[in-house]
Structure 1
Amino acid sequence: MLLHALDTADSADSDSAATPPLRTALLLHGAMGSAESWWRVIPLLVDRGYRVLALDLPGHGRSPRDAQLTVDAAAAAVVETIRRLAPEGPLHALGHSYGATVLAAAAAALDPSLTVYVDAALSIEGGHDRAELVARYERDRLARMDADALRRSRPFYSERDAEVEARAAERFDPETLASVSCGADGEWPPAPGSVVVRAEPSSWVSDADVRRLTEHGVGIRSIPGAAHTVWYSHFEEFTASLPELFGGPAVG
C-alpha cells in the first residue's frame, strides 16, 4: 500500500532544486491526525536542509483505507512508500503517539540514523470489540470536526491548528483504526539510541516506562506541562528538546 505524502520536494523552487537536501525527515502523525498536523514543524526542517516527507497513515487524510489493518501492515505501508519516494540518503524519522508505534514497527526496515518517538509507549492493547470501538471513534471524529469546539477544548490551539485537525477528523476512517486494536496485544521496543519526547506528566509514557526505556538505552526528554500533541502546546520547548533535528543553522 502506498500512502499519501506531503513531500517538500514537490514544492522546491529552482534554486533549492539545484542543491538538493542531503537528508530526509519522515513525519508520522497520531490517531485522527494527518500529514497536515506537522504544518508548523515542516518549514523549520526545510530551513535546516531537510526534504520532508509527512505521510497520511492508512485510514487518515488522503491515504487508502483498510478495515483489516494491523500495526505491522501500517508499518509495511510506510516502508513501501519511503522506499518508493526516498530510497537513498540518510533518514531521520519522527512519529507521534499511534504514528510513533507504527514507526517503531517500521524502524528495523527503515534503519533511520535518528528515530524520535513523541509521547508514545510503543504498544497496542488488543482484544477490543470492533463495533464498540468503531462507534467510539465515530463519536470522537464528529466532535473533532468542529474547529471552534476544538479550540474551546484545547485553548493552546491556534486557529490554523484547529482547522487542520478538524479537516483531519473529517477524513478519518474509524473502521481502519479500530482494526488495529481488535487483534492481539503488541509491543514494538525502540532500539537503543532512540529518543522519546514525552509530556510531563504523560498519560501515555508512565514513569515505569521511562525507567524501562532508559535501561534499554533510549534517551528520554520530558516537557513539563505539555499536552499530548507536544508541538502544538509547547512548540519552542519541543524543538529545543531535539537539537539533532532543529538545532542546526538555517539554510540561506
Structure 2
Amino acid sequence: MQLTTHTWGAGDRVALLVHGMMADHRTWRRVGPALADRGYRVVGVDLPGHGGSPRGGGADGARRYRLDDMALALAAACPHGVDAAVGHSLGAVVLERAIGRGMAVERAVYSDPAWRSEPHDLAPARAYKHATRDEIRAANPRWEAAAVDDEVACLALWDPDTVTVLEPPPGLPASAVRPSLVLLADPSERVTPGGQELLRARRFALRTVPGAGHSIHRDDFPGFMSALSGWV
C-alpha cells in the first residue's frame, strides 16, 4: 500500500510526522513548518484510511485495518535515515510498532500515545466522523480556527473502520528500542500514572505539557514545541 505524504522544507536532516486517529498530515499545520525552520526536511504521512491514502481492502465483514499492516505501510513510506520521528495517539502506536520491526529512526517522540491496556468503547470515536464544525470547536476550545477547519476536512476523508486497529488495546511497549520521549497531556487519559512509571522503567523519557489535552500540538503549540527541546 502506497501512502500519501506531504513535505515541508528541504533541510539536510529528516523529520517524520505521523498523525493520530481521524486526522491526516494537516494536523501538523504549524509543526511541519516550525521543524522545517530548524533545518529539517519534514515528511507528514497519511496513514491507511486517512487523508489521501488508500482505504483498507478485504471482503465484506472482514477486518480491513490491522496495526501490523499500518506499521509496514509506514515503514515503506518512511524516508531513508530519519533523524527524528513524532507520532500522535494512533500515530504513536503505529510508529513504535514500525520502529520495533526495524524502521530506521534515530530518535522518537510519542505524543500522548494510545497505549491503553484496558478495553475501551470505540463507538464514540466512530460517531465523531459526523461531528459538525461547532461541535469540534466546542470540544476543543483552545484550537485556532484553522485547526478546526482542518479537522472538518480530515473527518470527511477518514474511514471510521480504522478504529479496529485498537482492538484489542495495544498496551505499553516492552522497551524503548531507540531513544524515546513520551509527551503527555495533563492529565493523560491514555497513559495512567502506573503506566508512566512502567515506561520510565523501560527507558522512556517522559514530559508533561501542563494544561494540554490529548492533541497537545493543537491545544498548546508553544508548549508542544518547548517540550521537544533536546529531541527534535
For normalisation by structure 1, the TM-score amounts to: 0.81
Counterpart secondary structure, 1:225: coil
Identity %: 33
Q: Give TM-score scaled by structure 2 length.
A: 0.88
Alignment RMSD (CA, Å): 2.1
Say how many residue pairs are matched: 223
Distance 1:218 1:155, change over 3 A: same
Residue 74 in structure 1 maps to residue 70 in structure 2: yes
Closer, same or farther: CA 218–27 of 1 in aligned 2, 3 Å: same
Judged with a 3 Å threshold, the aligned counterparts in structure 2 of structure 1 residues 136 and 149 are, in CA distance, closer, same or farther, namely: closer
1:125, 1:181 within 8 Å by CA — same for their partners in 2? no
Q: What is the CA–CA distance in structure 1 between the aligned matches of 2:116 and 2:84, rounded to whole Å?
A: 21
| CA gap 1:215/1:112 in 2 versus in 1, 3 angstroms | same
Is 1:229 aligned with 2:215?
yes
The match for 2:165 among 152, 173, 180 is 180
SS of equivalent residue, structure 1 residue 36: helix
The answer to whether the aligner puts 1:149 opposite 2:140 as a matched pair is no
Q: Which residue of 1 aligns with 2:85?
A: 93
CA-CA distance at 1:111 after TM superposition: 2.6
Unaligned runs of 5+ in 2: 57-62
In structure 2, what residue type is equivalent to 1:227? G
Unaligned stretches of 5+ in structure 1?
13-19, 247-252
Larger radius of gyration: 1
Cα distance in 1 for residues equivalent to 2:181 and 2:95: 12
Q: 1:140 to 1:45 in 2, by over 3 A?
A: same
Match of 2:51 in 1: 61
Measure, in 1, the Cα distance between the counterparts of 2:212 and 2:85: 21
Matched, 1:39 2:23: no
Is 1:122 the counterpart of 2:107 in the alignment?
A: no
Evaluate the alpha carbon distance shift between residue 7 and residue 241 of structure 1 in structure 2; reply closer, same or farther with a 3 A threshold.
same
**Native 8 Å contact 1:227 1:233 kept in 2:** yes
Partner of 1:110: 103
Select which of 17, 37, 43 maps to 1:27: 17
